[in-house]
Chain A
Amino acid sequence: MRHLFRTRYQQDIALWRHNGDRFWYALLALIVLLAPAVLGEFYIGELGAVFIFAIAGVGLMLLVGYTGLISLGHAAFLGIGAYTNAVLLAQGVPFLVTLPIAGLFTALCGAAIGRPTLRMSGLYLAIATLAFGSIVGTVFQKWTAVTGGFDGFAVPTPYVFGMSIEGATGIYYVSLAVLVLVLLVAANLLRSPTGRALVAIRDSEVSAQSMGIHLARYKTLAFAISAGMTGLAGALFAHYVRYLAPDAFDVLLSVQFVTIVFVGGLGSLRGAVLGAMFVRLLPQFIAVVRDSLPFGIGRLPGLEPSLFGLTLVLVILFQPGGLNGMWLKTKQWFQAFPFKRQASFRRQKSYARSERLR
Chain B
Amino acid sequence: MEDTARILQLVVNGAASGCIYGLIALGFVLIYKATEMVNFAQGDIMMLGGFVAFSLIAWFHLPYWIGALLAVIITAAFGYALDAIVLRRVIGQPQFAVVMLTLGLGFIFRAAAGITWGYDSVGFATPFTNKTVNIGGLVLGEDNVSIIVGTLLLCAVLYLFFSKTRIGVAMQAASQNQLAAYYMGIPVRTIFSLIWAISAGVACLAGILLSPVSMIDVNMGGLAIKAFAAAVIGGFGSIPGSLVGGVIVGIVEQFAGYKLPAGFQEVTSNVVLLLMLFIRPQGLFAERMGKRV
Residues of A within 8 A of B (CB): 64, 68-70, 72, 113, 116-117, 119-124, 126-128, 130-132, 134-135, 138, 141-142, 202, 206, 210, 255, 258, 262, 300-303, 305-306, 308-313, 316-317, 320, 350-358
Contacts and interface: CB of A to CB of B under 8 A. Distances in A.
Nearest to B102: A313
Given A123-B38, A135-B270, A206-B291, A353 B108 contact: no
Nearest to B32: A123
B4 interface: no
Contacts of A202: 94
16 contacts: A69-B96, A116-B278, A122-B96, A124-B232, A124-B236, A127-B273, A128-B277, A131-B229, A134-B267, A262-B97, A301-B114, A302-B110, A310-B107, A313-B105, A350-B93, A358-B290
Contact of A358 (B94, B119, B178, B292): B292
B90 interface: yes
Contact of B228 (A131, A300, A303, A351): A131
Given A120-B282, A130-B228, A309 B274 contact: no
A350 B277 contact: no
B95 A123 contact: yes
B289 interface: yes
A141 B261 CA distance: 14
State the main secondary structure of chain B at its contact with A: helix
B271 A135 contact: yes
A352 B95 contact: no
B124 to A, nearest CB: 23
Contacts of B99: 70, 123, 126
A313 B274 CA distance: 29
A128 B100 contact: no
A350 B96 contact: no
Interface string B255-278: 000000001101101110110011
B89 interface: yes
B291 A131 contact: no
Contacts of A135: 267, 270-271, 274
B187 to A, nearest CB: 15
Given A138-B263, A351-B92, A354-B36, A310 B104 contact: yes
Contact of B277 (A116, A210, A357): A116
A308 B232 contact: no
B74 interface: no
A210 B293 CA distance: 10
A357 B293 contact: no
Nearest to B103: A255
Contact of B96 (A68, A308, A313): A68
Contacts of A255: 103, 107
Contacts of A142: 263-264
Contact of A128 (B95, B105, B263, B273): B273
A350 B273 contact: no
B111 interface: yes
A352 B91 contact: yes
A70 B114 contact: no
Interface in B80-132: 86, 89-97, 99-101, 103-108, 110-112, 114-115, 119
Contacts of B115: 300
Contacts of A69: 96
Nearest to B178: A352
A234 to B, nearest CB: 21
A250 to B, nearest CB: 11
Nearest to B111: A306
B70 interface: no
A351 to B, nearest CB: 5
